[in-house]
Amino acid sequence: MRTMKLGSSSLEVPVVAVGCMRINSLEKKESEHFIQSALEEGANFFDHADIYGGGVCEEIFADAIHMNADIRENIILQSKCGIRKGMFDFSKEYILESVDGILKRLRTEYLDVLLLHRPDALVEPEEVAEAFDILETSGKVRHFGVSNQNPMQIQLLKKFVKQPLVANQLQLSITNATMISNGINVNMENDSAINRDGSVLDYCRLNDITIQPWSPFQYGFFEGVFLGSEKFPELNQQIDEIAATYGVSSTTIAIAWLLRHPAHMQPVIGTMNIDRLKDCCKASDIQLTREEWYRIYRAAGNILP
């Protein structure tokens, strides 16, 4: 597995992250086999959140990997906090409480990366800064980032938070590519020109923040996957043709499309299927041409002015 630096940090990570939101759908032996298969592929970066399965997913992961000190030093753990029932919460008390719970469930003394989940409208960045300082000083968290935040929200945090924000987890796929399309359709009178996220793609590139695309196979907001969907015949035709050229699956090409972007993104894959996991990891070795990248982009219904 090819690796990259996460944001401005010195942390070396695989270019594909393994999302663990659905690990509670597996039986114990299945989860053990899945985690072992990921490690064999070099996919040792595991993404969690305290709300996944109400915390159960983190416990299942720790059991499946048979967590101990030796194993811990050979994996990279990221988790997220801030989503509570009916609200979002970035208060100092809740961040600290959440991290303690995450560490207990994962049976580890530290997180490599902590992300703040969905933006809290009532955030007091001074409190976030205090929480981050405590977590860093105590050794409980080594790196910090955000999820689903726009540039001004990040700037507000950076005014008070002294730690670099190394990642921003955002929804992005071939069919959900508004952060790309609004940059292509600058000054045009069409829907693709609408800037819905404050130019977050360019902002993250300018500030050395790694974008971690989530739901890289989804269209809409969890409406379904575009691969094999009758709603996207032209897209699937193009992906299948390019996949045949490289001798890989359509799954591999969908991830390779994201990896081809010069922003050096780290897609978070959510599959619990080992074959699909392996196909995703193969994308690390595929370098789409500019022509192939644009063929896929246009086939998804994205326009060029």
DSSP 81-126: E-EETTEE---HHHHHHHHHHHHHHHT-S-EEEEEE-S--TT--HH
> Mind listing the pLDDT tens digit for each residue in 230-270?
999 999 999 999 999 999 999 999 999 999 999 999 999 99
Average pLDDT over residues 201-228: 94
Residue 281 within a domain? yes
CATH number at residue 80: 3.20.20.100
Residue 258 within a domain? no
Looking at residue 221, what is its pLDDT? 81
Residue 177 within a domain? yes
> Mind listing the pLDDT tens digit for each residue in 141-181?
999 999 999 999 999 999 999 999 999 999 999 999 999 99
Report the percentage of the chain scoring pLDDT > 70. Answer: 100
Closest Cα partner for 213 from 270, 128, 164, 277?
Answer: 270
Q: What is the residue range of 7's domain?
A: 3-231+263-286
Looking at residue 122, what is its pLDDT? 98
Tokens of 69: 């000190």
**Domain tally, the chain:** 1
Residue 291 within a domain? no
Distance CA 267, CA 216 (A): 7
Residue 304 within a domain? no
Q: Is the pLDDT of residue 105 over 90?
A: yes
Average pLDDT over residues 261-284: 98
Looking at residue 237, what is its pLDDT? 98
Looking at residue 220, what is its pLDDT? 84
Average pLDDT over residues 95-115: 98
Tokens of 112: 């490599």
Q: Is the pLDDT of residue 29 over 90?
A: yes
* Residue 101: pLDDT band with limits 50, 70, 90: very high
Looking at residue 223, what is its pLDDT? 84
pTM to 2 decimal places: 0.96
Report the percentage of the chain scoring pLDDT > 90. Answer: 96
Looking at residue 111, what is its pLDDT? 98
Residue 305 within a domain? no
Looking at residue 222, what is its pLDDT? 78
